[in-house]
A and B are shown apart, each in its own frame.
Chain A
Amino acid sequence: MSRAPVVRLPGIAPLLVLMAVTVMSVLVILPLFTVFHDALAKGVGTFFSKLKEPDALAAIRLTLMVAAISVPLNAAFGVAAAWAIAKFEFKGKSVLLTLIDLPFSISPVVSGLVWVLLFGAQGWFGEWLQDRDLKIIFAVPGLVLATILVTFPFVARELIPLMQDQGVDEEAAALTLGASGFTAFWKITIPNIRWALLYGVLLCNARAMGEFGAVSVVSGHIRGLTTTLPLHVEVLYNDYDFVGAFAAASVLASLGLVTLVLKSALEWRHAGELAARRRH
């Protein structure tokens, strides 16, 4: 891949660099440092004991579970939607595209609220659910639904441009060579998008684990039962348990850092196969 040409603007260049560095330090590095500093303020022992509290462990477990359910579902949905949009012509395609983008443009609080309106005690299906003793709101299903809604654009958005770029010729070639539709999908389509898919899943996962707004609405903040890690941070913070809050926050921050490293590694190794930077 050829590098973009570089132009230096005399005089202004150092100024811009200085500004960028300052902003980065104040807005990104300093807060990140604070999180770990405050988490470890009372020593490593306290830090780990805070994380070993049953509520904290439950929050970590719940966060992992919600992500483990919603991310694969969104990966499957993302592949299906991207496939339909990139490889077929049909009426209402732009409507589908808009719908996929919707969660990006509406507030996460709304994404949570819609589920309350649908499945809450006073909601459309509230009574029906109550009669059957099914709990969605203030329970794990609600958390999963809210997370899915908020994170569903990530995989699809990553795949659509790449799949549009790749076209359908390879699949067509596979069919003429005797492959079934199923074989063509698994042996041609999926391998061609694997890195972009992984990239999308990574972003989707980071958001799924870090989501606060939508989840907050449907959670009910029942400690040890419906508080995910971000909610746990808030609960502890409101309780003035700063070390505990920052300890939990540091887990989230580490998660973010790991995601960042993996993401950069993907971009570095497989830039050509990611949609963000095209090959030609």
Chain B
Amino acid sequence: MNLQPAADTDATRHSLEIRGISKAYGRFPALKNVSLQARDKEFLALLGPSGSGKTTLLRVLAGLESPDEGEVRFDDEDFLAMPVRRRRVGMVFQHYALFRHMTVAQNIAFGLTVRSRRERPAKSEIADRVARLLSLVQLEGLEKRFPSQLSGGQRQRVALARALAIEPRMLLLDEPFGALDAQVRRELRRWLRDLHDRAGVTTVFVTHDQEEALDLADRVAVLKDGELIQLGTPSEVYENPANPFVYDFLGASCHLQGAVDGGRLQVSDWTSAAPEGTPDGEVNVFFRPNEVAFSTPDGAGVAAKVKAIVQRGADVRLDCLIDGRILELQAETEDLPAGLTVGTEVRVHPLRPQVYAS
């Protein structure tokens, strides 16, 4: 996990340190001894299925939940000892939590207007900042609207502007795209990353969408059942999933049983060199359905029988019977052996199999 580039000294400075956080609701453990760090100005994704504790962790960072055990430090300050309002974190809630009785401008200005008279900027300065934020989130002209008069994407941007108005030390986003449709989601994703780079704030965001996490984040923390399973850059996590759960969670996967003996991996009737360091014994072999090579029965790979072929443009989906079960594989038409039809015997060669001891 220590694959940080040594040359980049600034990147090794941790601004957020989470150590041994545990939290239980009654007898249900939501977080179990979670430790992780985020570097200054890093974009960190907390990825996991629902119930994995990712939102609880985010709320602990915001101060909306207090953990049973553990420590959170930010810029070397004890964050847990600080009340929510002193932490200066900008939080964007899953359903935005915009103040429904306030206009867009009032929403954005809220964090400034509630400050004590001594710390409160002058009215004109607040108006200036609201105007600047409105242009940053590209909502000029909508300042007099109420949240109910906005689209989902617009509401989300108001929520972001409101969070940014307090010049937060850290930005927390809870499923920021969860309530938007796929089209808007993809548009906003790039825009958000851009905004983060410009604002230069450490950002932690929660998502259950692996594509979103891998696409957006500098590093991804994968959580399951309240435990941190893996932490790494998107490519580290994608290329080297720590266990079958992560492998499966990060994308479509195919699964076969196998065995390792003396450095040789045996899957069904196919033998190949086992990945280095794999101990002998029963193993689970995982591979991505599009990372396979097809060949004729005299080639290399696991014996398979084609059960169905679905053509989709240049891509083909093949349902193949392998080792007694049907696997859905993908390939490009040109890579397939000639004359392949339903019923054909082929060999399927997983190009980058991941092997986990069972």
Binding site for B on A (CB under 8 A): 169-170, 172-180, 183, 187-188, 191-192
Contact = CB atoms under 8 A, between A and B. Distances in A.
A175 B97 contact: no
Interface string B211-249: 000000000000000000000000000000000000000
Contact of B91 (A173, A183, A187, A192): A173
Given A175-B84, A178-B111, A179-B114, A170 B100 contact: yes
B93 A175 contact: no
Contact of A174 (B63, B90, B114, B115): B114
Contacts of A179: 85, 110-111, 114
B155 interface: no
Interface in B20-41: none
Interface of B: 62-64, 84-91, 93, 95, 97-101, 110-111, 114-115, 162-163, 165-166
Which of A169, A170, A172, A176 has most chain B Cβ within 10 Å?
Answer: A176
B245 to A, nearest CB: 30
A216 to B, nearest CB: 42
A178 B93 CA distance: 16
Nearest to A190: B101
B99 A176 contact: no
A188 B99 contact: yes
B97 A178 contact: no
B95 A178 contact: no
B334 to A, nearest CB: 51
B114 A176 contact: no
B110 A176 contact: no
A176 B64 CA distance: 8
B267 to A, nearest CB: 50
Given A169-B93, A179-B85, A192 B110 contact: no
Q: Which of A169, A172, A177, A192 has the most CB of B within 10 A?
A: A177
A13 B306 CA distance: 64
B93 A173 contact: yes
Contacts of A191: 101
A170 B99 CA distance: 6
Main SS at interface, chain A: helix
Contacts, number: 63
A246 to B, nearest CB: 45
A177 B111 contact: yes
Contact of A178 (B64, B98, B166): B166
A170 B97 contact: yes
B162 A177 contact: yes
Contacts of A169: 93, 95, 97
A198 to B, nearest CB: 14
Given A179-B85, A191-B101, A192-B100, A174 B91 contact: no
Given A175-B64, A178-B86, 15 more contacts: A172-B62, A172-B64, A173-B93, A175-B84, A176-B85, A176-B89, A176-B163, A177-B85, A177-B166, A178-B111, A179-B85, A179-B110, A179-B111, A180-B114, A187-B110
A177 B87 CA distance: 9
B100 A176 contact: no
Nearest to A181: B85
Contacts of A192: 100-101
Nearest to A178: B85
A191 to B, nearest CB: 5
A180 B110 CA distance: 12
Contacts of B62: 172, 176
Given A169-B97, A191-B101, A178 B91 contact: no
B63 A176 contact: yes
**Would you list the 8 A-B pairs with minimal beta carbon distance, nearest first?**
A177-B111, A169-B97, A173-B97, A175-B84, A179-B114, A176-B91, A191-B101, A178-B85
A192 B148 CA distance: 13
A171 to B, nearest CB: 9
13 contacts: A169-B97, A173-B162, A175-B85, A176-B62, A176-B87, A176-B90, A177-B114, A177-B165, A178-B111, A179-B114, A180-B114, A183-B114, A188-B99
A174 B111 CA distance: 7
